[in-house]
Structure 1
Amino acid sequence: MEKKIEWWKNAIVYQIYPLSFKDSNHDGIGDLNGINSKLDYIKNLGIDVIWLSPVYQSPMDDNGYDISDYKRINPIFGTMEDMENLVSNIHKNGMKIIMDLVVNHTSDEHQWFIEAKKSKDNPYRDYYIWRDQPNQIQSVFSGPAWTYNEATKQYYFHLFSNKQPDLNWHNPKLRLEIYQMINEWLDKGIDGFRLDVIDLIGKDIDSMSLSDGPYLNQYLQEMHDHCFKNRDILTVGEMPGLSIKRASEITNQKNPLLSMIFQFSHISLDEIPGQGKWALKKLDLVEFKNVFNKLQQTLFEKGWNSLFLTNHDQPRAVSRFGNLSFRKKSSKMLATVLYGMQGTPYVFQGEEIGMTGVQFELSQYKDIETLNMYRDHLQKGYKHDDIMTSIYAKGRDNSRTPLQWDDTQNAGFSDVQPWIDINPNYKELNAKKDLAEKDSIYNYFKELFTIRKKYRIFDQGTFELIYPSHHELFIYLRKTKNEAILVIGSFSENRIEIDLSEYSQYQCLITNETPIDLKQTVIPPYYCAIYYKKEDYHANH
């Protein structure tokens, strides 16, 4: 009898960035009822889980990742009743919902911090991190990670905006308050969490040990025991600074602290090493393949992986890794190569219709990280045009423009001016058009997800790169004892000759154009396909 596997290993997750999904109350801001109105669209795609970016009470300094009250809904998104209604309707549609959990820091408008900054002996003082003298740690959002508090003559620590003070996880009382809040949400019927920059909670700032710090395992284990143990939920930790080996340990199937993590090794490959995300370099496909190979091999039968190329913090996948002259083909190719691997697939809103990045004027950008970086780089002597080139490539607003529903004004997102401008290509590129076209990106994603769920090889097969040093083709083989698939993806606008004749018995399951004959293989530009063969490998090996 086949071992029953955890539901989240077969699930497809769809990330919603509420600000930009759908406005229902005519204020230019996406909201909970807007999401509720589009559940059919999401369900039809083949989605099992909706991940909701933060909708908690927040002054929105960092678009909701600065929480001022974990137990209330931000009025711009709706009410707690709207939230409960959404959860109920998602469940009625046979889907699940996970929420974003931001517990490395709060807003400086959280009641805890308002109290903490009043005096050194305030009961909440130790909920945050204070020092008489700052050290050299820099904020992710540019500038020092320390801000002076005049009332108490000390500096508080903030790894992000100065309006996002870091919580002091070494305080056991604080940790218990956080666990209580987590359990309250789970008791409301939430099916799990995406844990924002959770690799930072174990840090030791005095030894400058931040990501994957010395206390990470201890605090994750404690959170697991207090909140996640004995609950059938999905937990995915955002851990940009974690090695692939550590990813395997955290998600180890014998004692998993989290179901899976977002590991960022592949995300940093188009930046100059050590110079940060704005220092651009061309992606080397061989490096890209090697990272995925290492992930697939290291986590196989040990941990579990999440499969993503984009999210609310990362640029649009097709603009970054594909080719806009081959937008439809390269969108399908990226999805095929990514979702053919072992792990849980994540789709970021708009990815399913091949939405692209933007090239705005500076005045149109809203993101705090982008605007801080621009000022910082200008002061350091960088040229305006060079800074803008980096923003066009890596700015977070690339993926935050409103979802393009149709070709009416404001792309059908809202009937008033949205909080951030629409991508000007919405008349040609929108969901209504995609749903109507048989060979659309949306319909391709839908077919790909149907195939993924039909064949167990996707969650169980081994992984082997074919032609690992080829600079334009990403080809791999996956096997179980009685099945095999060959996944082909071309990252080139040229036709490429290659010998794949040993796989000529395989049948094509899905492709972004006419299937090629594997006996004499010439691979067209941005071609992709999954070929399948059923055979008893056990007898041959």
Structure 2
Amino acid sequence: MTITQHPWWKDAVVYQIYPASFQDSNNDGIGDLRGIIQRLDYIQGLGVDVIWICPMYESPQIDMGYDISDYEKVHAPYGTVEDMDELIAQVHDRGMRVILDLVVNHTSDQHAWFKESRSSKTNSKRDWYIWKPAKYVDGQRKPPNNWRSSFGGSAWQWDETTEEYYLHLFCPEQPDLNWDNEETRWAIYESAMLFWLEKGVDGFRVDTVNMYSKPPGLPDAPITDRSAEWQEAGLVFCNGPRMNEYLSEMNAILSRYNAMTVGECPFTPDPATVLGYVGASKKRLNMVFQFDVVDVGQGKVFKYQTEPFAYKLQDLKDAIARTQGLLDGTDAWTSSFVENHDQARSISRFGDDSAQWRERSGKMLSLLFASLSGTLFVYQGQEIGMINMPKEWSIDEYKDVDSSNYYNMVAERSGDDPVELAMAKASLQHLSRDHARTPMQWDSRPNGGFTDDTAEPWMRVNTSTAEINVAQQTRSKDSVLAFWKHMLKFRKEHADVLVHGKFELVDRENCKVLSFIKHGKSRDALVVCNFSGESSAMPRLGRSGKMDRVLCNAPGVGGDDRLQPWEGRVYMLR
């Protein structure tokens, strides 16, 4: 029998940690690196292979650490570089690996590079960022183009010192680096990549990986929002003409360390473009996060400009099929995920977070996403079925710049219309990034064991910690946590079909049940998931043969021919 040797990252399960919200070790209300070290045995016990740590670099924290002021230092409330050294060593001692966020499309405006760049037009680092003169229309100063930043408003900021605009695809405090400047690129590689690779990190999640190369001439974006001056421009500024060149250059460095890369790849609907990034023969990236699944139900112009549950199950089916289809007849690799630091909680979005069904629907989502091909990513708290912040919490509890900017925009456009504001609040309660950022729920105490109950956490702990927490679930063999541990073990035992199998969607028109077959080299598996609070009939496969049920999230509650509410099953087919 021939055993296929896969790169280590293909069969890995990655556990993502948001440092500010994971574990506070010194009771200052902010999570830290020593808190992560304290919880490494717990993480190892889940059955994961890799820990991904969100930005822990020195930062003013305008965008929760994605605005980096020094790549070679640690944000002081999180700890020190020495703490990172110990964390890396302890992760490796447990037989796991660690990857970091690589945030190099932009820096903080407090980075030494940008301070030099903005100091004068003749400074040696002036061209390290993207500066342009103003346009004048009827005597009025205007930015170079109509691009809207990812967080609202113009993507250009006027700078009085040198009287030019600089580009920021995110906050004004996050100026974009000029990747067309070779000197800039090599400074990035040295400071952001090699510094940490030499310390033993095993790879990177690469932030906004397809934004480095901007289109020549920086053309205007199509007008999709006629009520606004600034337009959504993601399809214009992503995937520029030199992206492949830059990624190949990065990979030449990363491959020397056998480092893993997973790129964040928004605004890329063309599969051929994705394949150009992740085809093994291209030697650019190992895989990317495509956003098809997590974009389901979001608004088209503004992601929050929608209603809760504004999607059909077929939309989710098609999104999964597109990302899984990347593997068909190619040398590419993909990823499976439904939560991260930028997404609301999956049970609240795609399951049922009521007390009656949240555990079963959480287990079903675990069964579904752990049965998809590619590298699996699990976000902190997902393994215990954490849910969104309560509906009754006020808008003041929302800390994220993306959420507050959207709410303030609606307030301004509507003249504080209470109906419009209520709709905006309902959408944020369903989709906001804040839901992923509430502190980890370790036990049932008011602060959830995240920090001492006498401390004030940087963000309010979800009151659901009274019922949803690690301590309680560790004691139960039927908990969401127990199911996740079993599911990860099951996934590895059946890696030939679940990790590496070919995906075939079944019964697409069924509006309650999501079903697919995974085709392995020597066997097939059928996965069925009832996305409904009602019992549903099993799907029709259109094929005969023996089916052995090998996994179920609701054992003993129903017959073979009908699925119970939020029930998921895995069958091996013969």
TM-score normalised according to structure 2 size = 0.90
Shift of 1:500: 4.8
Instruction: Find out whether 1:514 has 2:525 as its counterpart.
Output: no
Shift of 1:245: 3.2
Structure 2 match to 1:345: 376
In structure 1, C-alpha distance between the alignment counterparts of 2:342 and 2:377, rounded to whole Å: 14
Structure 2 match to 1:539: none
Shift of 1:299: 2.3
In structure 2, C-alpha distance between the alignment counterparts of 1:92 and 1:344, rounded to whole Å: 22
In structure 1, C-alpha distance between the alignment counterparts of 2:162 and 2:539, rounded to whole Å: 71
Note the alpha carbon deviations across 1:170-194, whole angstroms, 9 max, x for none. 1110001111121121111000000
In structure 2, C-alpha distance between the alignment counterparts of 1:499 and 1:129, rounded to whole Å: 54
In structure 1, C-alpha distance between the alignment counterparts of 2:204 and 2:544, rounded to whole Å: 41
In structure 1, C-alpha distance between the alignment counterparts of 2:462 and 2:306, rounded to whole Å: 25
Structure 1 match to 2:256: 230
Instruction: Find out whether 1:195 has 2:211 as its counterpart.
Output: no
Structure 2 match to 1:424: 463
- 5 Å-filtered alignment, 1:100-249, equals 100-133=101-134, 134=143, 135-181=145-191, 182-204=193-215, 206-208=218-220, 209-225=236-252, 227-243=253-269, 244-249=271-276
> Over the residues paired in the alignment, what is the CA RMSD in angstroms?
1.6
SS of residue paired to 1:120: coil
Note the alpha carbon deviations across 1:497-519, whole angstroms, 9 max, x for none. 2355856722222211126888x
Structure 2 match to 1:408: 445
In structure 2, C-alpha distance between the alignment counterparts of 1:409 and 1:146, rounded to whole Å: 43
In structure 1, C-alpha distance between the alignment counterparts of 2:41 and 2:544, rounded to whole Å: 39
In structure 2, C-alpha distance between the alignment counterparts of 1:374 and 1:321, rounded to whole Å: 23
After TM superposition, the structure 1 stretch with the greater mean CA deviation from structure 2, 37-46 or 499-508, is 499-508
Question: Contact 1:54–1:100 at 8 Å: present in 2 too?
Answer: yes
Shift of 1:211: 1.2
- 5 Å-filtered alignment, 1:30-429, equals 30-133=31-134, 134=143, 135-181=145-191, 182-204=193-215, 206-208=218-220, 209-225=236-252, 227-243=253-269, 244-280=271-307, 282-300=310-328, 301-325=330-354, 326-358=357-389, 359=391, 360-381=393-414, 383-415=420-452, 416-429=455-468
In structure 2, C-alpha distance between the alignment counterparts of 1:18 and 1:213, rounded to whole Å: 32
Shift of 1:294: 2.3
Q: Residues 507 and 498 from structure 1, CA distance in 2 versus in 1: closer, same or farther, beyond 3 angstroms?
A: closer
Question: Contact 1:304–1:343 at 8 Å: present in 2 too?
Answer: yes
For 1:117, the aligned partner's letter is: R
Note the alpha carbon deviations across 1:179-213, whole angstroms, 9 max, x for none. 11211211110000001111111122612531112
Note the alpha carbon deviations across 1:312-368, whole angstroms, 9 max, x for none. 111011111111121011111112111111111100000000000113312222111
SS of residue paired to 2:474: helix
For 2:401, the aligned partner's letter is: I
Instruction: Find out whether 1:491 has 2:517 as its counterpart.
Output: no
In structure 1, C-alpha distance between the alignment counterparts of 2:395 and 2:352, rounded to whole Å: 24
Identity over the aligned pairs, expressed in percent?
37
Structure 2 match to 1:457: 497
Structure 1 match to 2:228: none
Runs of 5+ consecutive residues of structure 2 not aligned to the other structure:
135-142, 221-235
For 1:143, the aligned partner's letter is: G
After TM superposition, the structure 1 stretch with the greater mean CA deviation from structure 2, 367-376 or 46-55, is 367-376
Shift of 1:229: 2.4
For 2:75, the aligned partner's letter is: N
Aligned residues: 532
- Runs of 4 or more above 6 Å deviation: none
Note the alpha carbon deviations across 1:404-424, whole angstroms, 9 max, x for none. 000123110001110000101
Structure 1 match to 2:224: none
Question: Contact 1:504–1:517 at 8 Å: present in 2 too?
Answer: no
In structure 2, C-alpha distance between the alignment counterparts of 1:295 and 1:211, rounded to whole Å: 19
For 1:498, the aligned partner's letter is: M
In structure 2, C-alpha distance between the alignment counterparts of 1:62 and 1:481, rounded to whole Å: 45
In structure 2, C-alpha distance between the alignment counterparts of 1:26 and 1:275, rounded to whole Å: 38
Question: Contact 1:106–1:165 at 8 Å: present in 2 too?
Answer: yes
In structure 2, C-alpha distance between the alignment counterparts of 1:393 and 1:152, rounded to whole Å: 43
Shift of 1:74: 1.0
